[in-house]
Amino acid sequence: MKNARNKGQMRLLVLELWRLGDLAVASPFLQQASQNCEVTLIAQPLAIEMRPRFWPNVRVVPFVAPWTVFRGKYRLHKWQWKTIARLLNSIRPQNFDAVVSARWDPRDHVLMALTGAKRRYGFPRLGSQVLLTHPLSHDGSLAHRHWYWQRLAKALGFDLPAHTTVHRQGEGGQIVIHTGASQPVKVWSLERYGRLVRRLRQKGYTVQVLCDAGQQEYWREYGEHATVPQNLTELSAHMDSAEIFIGNDSGPGHLAAASGIPTFTIFGNQSPAMFAPIHRASEWIEGAPCRYKPCYDSCRFPVPYCLLDIDEEVAWKKIEEFAMKQMPIQERFVRR
C-alpha cells in the first residue's frame, strides 16, 4: 500500500461501534492503517475526543448503533431509522475501496454491505459470509479482540505487533486507580479498593483515585478525595500523571494501555485471554471459575461471585509485586 497521503491511496472505512475499551483496543490498527490508507471510522461520539490523542489522521463519523445499547437493543420500533438512513446516504457517495469490522457480528455485516464499499472484510457468523466479499476464517474460539484486528491488518497488507508499541513514563510518578466500570457486575468491592489504596500509600506510593459519579459519595465518607472525570479529555489528562494504572475490566484500563501505561486489571466475569489490556507489561488477576464465563455485561446470579470471591490477600500480593516491578522503591521516593 502507498502512504496515506499519496495519490491513489486506499479509501478505508472502519467500523468499531462499541465503547471506550473497544476503541482503545482498535487504536493500534487505526494508527497503522492511517499510515497506509485514508481512513474513516464510524464510531460512537467519544471517538471524536480520542482522535487527537490516538489517531489524528483518522476521520471520525459519529454514530450510535442501536444494537450497542445495554437494554432494549432489539426493540426495532425504537431504532432511529432516519439516523441510519442519513448515515448511509452520507457514506455511499464516498465510494470507499474497502470496509472492515473486527467483530463476527452479522449486524455489522449488514451495515457494511449497505455502505456500498467495493470490498468488505470481516469474520462471518450465522451465514453472514454472503454479505462479505472477503470473509476471514476464525474458529469461534475466545480469541483476544486484538487478534481480529491483526487478521484484518494482514488481509489489507500490513502488520500489527502483538502489543501496543507506545511506551511512556508518567510525569507525576503516580499510581492511578479507577474504581468504576460501565456495568456493576465488573466493579470490585469499594471497601477492598479502599484498603488497597491505604496499603499502597503505606508502601510509599503516591495514589490518585478516580471513580464513577455514583461512587464519589462512598469515597467522600471514606475520607478520600476521589475525582470523577467529566469527559474523556479529563480522564486522559489524569492518565498523563500515571506511572501505572489499576482498575476493573473497563474502558479506562484499555485507555491507559493504549496510552503506554502498564495496567493491572481485576477481572470478574470476563476472560483476560479475550480482553486483557494490550500493553506488554500489563498484568491481572482473574475472577473465580464459573461455568457461564465469559458473560460480558450481565450475570446470572444476584451478585458477581466470580469477582467478589477473589481472595483479597492474593490480589494484594499480585498488585504489590506488579507495583514494585514497575516502580522500584528508590525511584518511588526520589519522585515524591
Within-domain flag for 165: no
Residue at 328 is within a domain: yes
For residue 87, give the nearest of 110, 63, 104 by alpha carbon.
63
pLDDT number for residue 181: 94
pLDDT at site 1: 39
123, 156, 189 — which closes off a domain?
156
Examine the domain organization and report whether 200 and 125 are in the same domain: no
Residue 88 Cα to chain centre, angstroms: 26
Instruction: Give pLDDT tens digits for 49-64.
Output: 999 999 999 999 999 9
Cβ distance 19 to 254 under 8 Å? no
Residue whose C-alpha cell reads 459519529 in the numeric block? 62
58 domain-assigned = yes
Domain match, 117 and 236 both: no
User: CA-CA distances (angstroms) from residue 293 to 181, 272, 282, 305?
Assistant: 18, 11, 22, 11
Say which DSSP state 168 is in: -
DSSP 77: G
pLDDT given at position 164 = 73
pLDDT of 168: 63
One domain for residues 142 and 192: no
5 within domain boundaries: no
The verdict on 130 and 207 lying in the same domain is no
Instruction: For 243-296, write each residue's pLDDT tens digit.
Output: 999 999 999 999 999 999 999 999 998 889 999 999 999 999 999 888 888 887
In this prediction, residue 166 carries a pLDDT of 65
For 282, phi then psi, to 5°, come to -70, 145
Q: What one-character-per-residue DSSP string does 85-150 give?
A: HHHHHHHGGG--SEEEESS--HHHHHHHHHTT-SEEEE---TTGGGG-SEE----S----HHHHHH
* Cell 462512598 sits on residue: 218
Judgement on whether residues 233 and 301 belong to the same structural domain of the protein: yes
Q: Is residue 182 part of a domain?
A: yes
Task: Enter the DSSP assignment of 227.
Answer: B
Residue 219 shares a structural domain with residue 318: yes
pLDDT of residue 96: 98
User: Which regions in the chain score pLDDT beneath 70?
Assistant: 1-8, 70-74, 77, 140, 165-172, 329-336
Q: State residue 239 phi and psi, 5-degree precision.
A: -65, -30
> Is 81 domain-assigned?
yes
In terms of pTM, does the model score above 0.85?
yes
In a domain? residue 164: no
Count of CB atoms situated within 10 Å of the CB of 81: 11
Asked if 17 and 149 sit in the same domain, the reply is: yes
In what side-by-side order are the strands of the sheet with 283-285?
207-210, 174-178, 242-248, 263-266, 283-285
Q: What one-letter code names the amino acid at 73?
A: K
What pLDDT was estimated at residue 4? 39
Domains contained in the chain, number: 2
Q: CA-to-CA distance for 226 and 63, rounded, in angstroms?
A: 32
Specify whether the CB–CB gap between 120 and 114 falls below 8 A.
Answer: no
CA pair distance 277, 152, nearest whole angstrom: 19
Q: Among residues 156, 191, 225, which one ends one of the domains? A: 156
CB-count exposure of residue 305 (10 Å: 0-12, 13-18, 19+)? middle
Q: What is residue 69's predicted lDDT score, i.e. its pLDDT?
A: 75
Largest CA distance in the chain: 61
The Cα 219–Cα 209 span in angstroms is 9
Domain boundary among 125, 156, 187: 156
- Rg value, the chain, Cα: 21
Report the pLDDT value the prediction gives residue 163, as an integer from 0 to 100: 79
Regarding whether 189 and 298 lie in a shared domain, the answer is yes
Whether residue 148 sits in one domain with residue 30: yes
Question: Does residue 330 sit in the same domain as residue 288?
Answer: yes
Q: Are residues 69 and 186 part of one domain?
A: no
pLDDT at 2: 38
Residues 50 and 195 grouped into a single domain: no
Q: What is the CATH number of the domain that holds 29?
A: 3.40.50.2000
Domain that holds residue 201: 174-335
Q: What angle do CA 221, 226, 229 make, to 5 degrees?
A: 135
- Is residue 168 in a domain? no
End-to-end, the C-alpha distance of the chain in Å comes to 48
Among the listed residues 277, 227, 287, the one whose alpha carbon sits nearest the alpha carbon of residue 252: 277
